[in-house]
Amino acid sequence: MGKTVTEKILEAHLVEGKMAKGQEIGIRIDQTLTQDATGTMAYLEFEAIGIPRVQTELSVCYVDHNLVQSDFRNADDHRFLQSIARKYGLYFSPPGNGISHQIHLERFGLPGKTLLGSDSHTPTGGGLGMLAIGAGGLDVAMAMAGKPFYLVMPKVYGIKLIGKLQPWVSARDILLEVLRRLSVKGGVGYIMEYFGPGVKELTVTDRASITNFGAELGATTSVFPSDENTRQFLQSQGRADNWVELIADSDAVYDEVIEIDMSSLEPLIACPSSPDNVVKVSEVAGKPVAQVLVGSCSNSSLRDLMVVAKTLETREISRDVSFEINPGSRQVLENMTAQGDMLTLVKAGARVHQAGCLGCIGMGQAPSTGTISLRTFPRNFPGRSGTKDDQVYLCSPEVAVASAITGKITDPRDLGSYPSFSLPKNYLLGDQRIEAPLAEGVAGEIVRGPNITPFPKFDAIPDTWSGKILLKVGDNITTDHIMPAGAKILPLRSNIPAISEFVFDSVDHDFTVRAKASDAGMVVGGENYGQGSSREHAALAPRFLGVRVKLVKSFARIHKANLINFGILPLTFENPADSDSIEQGDDVLIPGLRKALETGLEIIAVRIGDREISAKLDISARHREILLAGSLLNWAK
């Protein structure tokens, strides 16, 4: 039986376990990336491991999230990260240089390699034929130390593409269609692999837009083959020697398959407040728009900004719209400027910001009260924009620019002929500000600002655990709900005591007070608990407050791994209906917990109030050892 691209890469990197679906495997990681919002803690964790230099083929430290320097804290973190990169042998990309995923695609990604990143949108590299996976910072720190990355052997979801995109329909619409069909939890347990004759119609940046946005399916990652289009992209980047062909065998078998006829797609849009709330643009056309943002790691490539600029050559932005551009990288900025397209954007009324994440993680660009904001971003979770009760829609650059021109949600096909443009055969590389690793032993001391606090120490799991239910929540709780982002909170990522004050702040403002008043606590939730960002602070900060158990109907992959890494027991209801009888404030007792972990018990008896329920503990033997030790770092030491 033939092999998929996924299976070929996994097989080439397998170091532990057998490639049997549902079994834990360990794979070798070739490359890592971090961004500053998660990276500061990841490097504190790497330091705690105690080795002198990263052990990967290549590791890159990017600064792209915390770019607003309203006080010393973000700037201090950036100096810390630069000194870490110099000391431990990493590449360093400074603030303003661009978004990690866009730059990595341009300058570092390699077909057939594995990439682990402390950001949930790391799968962007799948557009280049990499197996690129998002994970918590501690998992990335372990990979930098030369340790395998562990995951449950996923199923492979084949997405067969046929046909060709019509004018004003873009790659973004392909993934919106997948989200419409499968939902934000439809990819859990899968790697999404794209194949079929339609693949050759998509450029690498088209593919990267799809694999990036594919993180919202809850999938482990997404991947495209490496073919002639991949070779052409690498050649345009001056990296033709990095190309290898990597395609699925003709008789490869996928666990599930859906087919998308790209010729039949029309412009789509995700309505508030979930990426899978997808409808045709024509169904919501005419709604007034006050803000339009183009950029973020999903759609900030040269191709995306060129289509915007070319559309605006003979048009201007509505006076009722704040139209803002977040370029993906310095390379994008340099090529837009050289081609004259930047002048077009400015003259049309665009506000061009520095290359970075910005509004996607609430770092500025909050919309006005009661108005609609259209964004080419990957997420529109409630309040993520920085405005309470926001109305954020997710769309393609084509829909974004058309709506910015008219001042209302607009099907771009109404504009008439699609603009013609072509991408450069040879890009201006724009990588001159990236620092290469220094030779071992050359770098000086680590620079630490006063906001950078030591990594907290955690105790081993007790024989019997007791506590209170501190909070009960519903389905699709995101890591934004657990640990908010934004300009107020993101600067505290390197200070666990300070950032812990904001755990569940948007859900229950009194949560931290209750947690501090209790010796130990549990959180109860619904389906797909912990979806969204890879931010390990959504596990680390609750653990700091004494949360030791989470009992839910189902977990998102990265968050479940992060919980285990920090010694929080991830239980799921054996009978989901048991959730109905549980109340916030109930007393909880789990007798014989340590013995249950040691003996491999999969059903755990949990006493809540005056009744007992059964909970499942679906984890590997290695995970049990980590929980017994109290954290991954304890276990590793």
What is the radius of gyration, based on Cα positions, of the chain? 23
Residue 411: half-sphere exposure toward Cβ, Cα within 13 Å: 15
- Residue 216, judged by CB atoms within 10 A of its CB (0-12, 13-18, 19+), counts as buried
Spatial distance between the Cα atoms of 500 and 498, rounded to a whole number of angstroms: 5
Q: Are 293 and 374 in contact (CB under 8 A)?
A: yes
- Residue 417, judged by CB atoms within 10 A of its CB (0-12, 13-18, 19+), counts as exposed
Reference 531, options 384, 432, 430; nearest CA is 384
Spatial distance between the Cα atoms of 223 and 265, rounded to a whole number of angstroms: 21
Distances (CA, A) of 136 to 50, 361, 486: 19, 17, 19
Q: Which pairing describes strands 611-616 and 221-223: parallel, antiparallel, or unpaired?
A: unpaired
- Residue 286, judged by CB atoms within 10 A of its CB (0-12, 13-18, 19+), counts as exposed
Distances (CA, A) of 573 to 258, 536, 554, 605, 627: 31, 23, 8, 11, 19
Mapping DSSP onto H, E and C, the string for 359-427 reads: HHHCCCCCCCCCCEEEECCCCCCCCCCCCCCCEEEECCHHHHHHHHHHCECCCHHHHCCCCCCCCCCCC
Look at phi and psi of residue 181 and say left if phi exceeds 0, alpha if psi is from -120 to 50, else beta: alpha
Q: Which pairing describes strands 587-590 and 465-472: parallel, antiparallel, or unpaired?
A: antiparallel
Question: What is the CB neighbour count within 10 angstroms for residue 194?
Answer: 27
Question: What is the CB neighbour count within 10 angstroms for residue 110?
Answer: 21
The set of catalytic residues is 64-65, 119, 379, 533, 535
* Structure tokens, 137: 């910072």
Spatial distance between the Cα atoms of 77 and 60, rounded to a whole number of angstroms: 16
Spatial distance between the Cα atoms of 502 and 486, rounded to a whole number of angstroms: 11
* Structure tokens, 133: 């996976």
Owner of token pair 């915007």: 308
* Structure tokens, 342: 């930047």
* Structure tokens, 606: 């949990």
CB contact set of 457 (below 8 Å; sequence gap of 6+) = none
Owner of token pair 């097989």: 11
Q: Are 120 and 134 in contact (CB under 8 A)?
A: yes
CB contact set of 472 (below 8 Å; sequence gap of 6+) = 523, 524, 525, 582, 583, 584
